[in-house]
């Protein structure tokens, strides 16, 4: 293991370990083992080259974001998911490309979750601010970086989000917000992102960059 940001000289054995490690990371992410996924992806990220390096960094930050989300750190979740999404968008993945499709679908699912978190946090903040007579704070919730930093302190430490399934049996994130003991609205859901990519997809992404 090397210092953060340093890249050991690659060799064939290391390349094989990296690919196997990526499959392991995907399995951990899809199994909800976000902390363990972070540890595996971080090791891959150290020695990766762009564009795989950027993609791995995005996946790493998303794993951290979901770990925060299900451990009642709402602000941390939104910030990490937002930064991870920015890196995935930077790759300009093509939806109709067989090799890039799994990554673009993952990007879109993360974007949907971030929008869901912002909407539910804003709704909760508006309700609690109104009850406290601080309506001006709600006007700042405009989707900017500043507004993301403001959100999260409302109901901090409460279990607002949990893993479950929706009415169709799809793995989802369930929100049940409370304000002063009262539910804001019936529980609502968004699909829990999953990553259906393999080592072959990661290799194809890298090769497409090398030969473009």
Residue 88: inside a domain: yes
Element (H, E) at 163: strand 161-165
Residue 5: inside a domain: no
Averaged pLDDT, 126-140: 57
How confident is the model at residue 147, as a pLDDT? Answer: 56
Residue 6: inside a domain: no
pTM for the predicted model, two decimal places: 0.79
**CB under 8 Å to 203, separation ≥6 — which residues?**
19
Averaged pLDDT, 84-98: 86
| DSSP H stretches of helix in the chain | 12-30, 34-47, 52-69, 74-90, 101-132, 145-150, 199-210
Residue 212: inside a domain: no
Residue 4: inside a domain: no
At 76, which CATH number?
1.10.3450.10
Number of independent structural domains in the chain: 1
Averaged pLDDT, 10-22: 54
Q: How confident is the model over 37-76, as pLDDT tens digits?
A: 999 999 999 999 999 999 999 999 999 999 999 998 988 9
What range does the domain containing 87 cover? 15-206
Residue 32: inside a domain: yes
Residue 91: inside a domain: yes
Q: How confident is the model over 135-169, as pLDDT tens digits?
A: 555 545 555 555 555 555 566 677 889 999 988 99
Percent pLDDT > 70 in the chain is 68
**CB under 8 Å to 154, separation ≥6 — which residues?**
121, 124, 125, 128, 129
Range with the poorest average pLDDT among 108-112, 126-130, 191-195 = 126-130
User: What average pLDDT is seen over the chain?
Assistant: 79
Element (H, E) at 179: strand 178-179
Residue 1: inside a domain: no
């Amino acid at each position: 293991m090397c210092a953060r940001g340093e890249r050991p000289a690659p060799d064939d054995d290391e390349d094989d370990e990296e690919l196997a490690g990526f499959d392991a990371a995907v399995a951990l992410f899809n199994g909800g083992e976000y902390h363990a996924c972070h540890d595996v992806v971080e090791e891959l990220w150290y020695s990766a080259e762009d564009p795989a390096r950027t993609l791995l960094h995005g996946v790493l930050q998303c794993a951290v974001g979901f770990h925060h989300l299900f451990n009642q750190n709402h602000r941390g979740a939104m910030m990490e998911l937002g930064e991870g999404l920015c890196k995935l968008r930077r790759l300009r993945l093509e939806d109709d490309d067989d090799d890039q499709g799994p990554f673009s679908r993952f990007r879109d699912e993360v974007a949907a979750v971030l929008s869901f978190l912002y909407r539910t946090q804003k709704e909760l903040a508006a309700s609690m601010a109104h009850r406290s007579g601080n309506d001006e704070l709600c006007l700042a919730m405009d989707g900017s970086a500043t507004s993301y930093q403001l959100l999260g302190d409302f109901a901090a430490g409460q279990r607002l989000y949990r893993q479950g399934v929706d009415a169709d049996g799809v793995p989802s994130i369930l929100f049940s917000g409370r304000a002063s003991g009262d539910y804001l609205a019936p529980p609502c859901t968004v699909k829990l992102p999953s990553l259906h990519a393999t080592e072959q997809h990661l290799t194809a992404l890298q090769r497409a960059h090398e030969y473009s």
